[in-house]
Chain A
Amino acid sequence: MISSTLSIHAWFKRKQKEKETPYVRERLDIPGNLWVKCYKCGQAIFNKELEDNLKVCPKCGYHFKLSANERIKQLTDNGSFKEIDPNIQSKDFLNFTDSKPYGKRIIETVAKSLLKDAIVCGTAKIGGQGAALGIMDFSFMGGSMGSVVGEKIARLIELAIEKKLPVIIFAASGGARMQEGIMSLMQMAKTSAALGRLRENGLPYIAICTDPTTGGTSASFAMLGDINLAEPGALICFAGPRVIEQTIRQKLPPGFQRSEYLLQHGMLDIVCERKQLKETLTKILGWFNEK
Chain B
Amino acid sequence: MKNKESSDFNNLTPLQIVQIARQIQRPTTLDYINCIFTDFVELHGDRNFGDDPALVAGLAKLDGCSVAVMGHQKGKSTKENLARNFGMANPEGYRKALRIMRIAERNHKPIISLIDTPGAYCGIGAEERGQAEAIAKNLREMTELTIPFVTVITGEGGSGGALGIGMGNRVLMLEYSIYSVISPEGCASILFRDAKRANDAALAMKITAPDLLKLGVIDEIIKEPPGGAHNDVQQSASNIKSAIIKHLGPLLSLSQRELIADRYNKFRKMGFFSE
Contacts and interface: CB of A to CB of B under 8 A. Distances in A.
Contacts of B66: none
Given A238-B120, A238-B122, A238-B127, A186 B267 contact: yes
Given A89-B275, A186-B271, A196-B143, A216 B130 contact: no
Interface string B90-119: 000000000000000000000000000000
A120 interface: no
Interface stretch (A20-28, A31-39, A48-56, A90-98): A90-98
A244 B127 contact: yes
Interface in A202-245: 215-216, 218-224, 236-239, 243-244
Contact of B204 (A85, A98, A186, A199): A98
A180 B204 CA distance: 9
A207 B56 CA distance: 32
A192 B136 contact: yes
B196 interface: no
Interface residues of A, number: 65
B275 A185 contact: no
Nearest to A148: B273
Contacts of A148: 271, 273
Counting chain B residues whose Cβ lies within 8 A of the other chain, the interface size class is 35 or more
A67 interface: no
18 contacts: A89-B273, A90-B273, A176-B159, A181-B204, A182-B179, A185-B181, A189-B139, A199-B140, A216-B181, A219-B136, A224-B133, A224-B140, A244-B124, A250-B124, A257-B127, A265-B129, A265-B130, A267-B133
Interface of B: 120, 122-124, 126-133, 135-137, 139-141, 143-144, 159-160, 163-164, 167, 179-182, 187, 190-193, 204-207, 212, 215, 217, 263-264, 267-268, 270-275
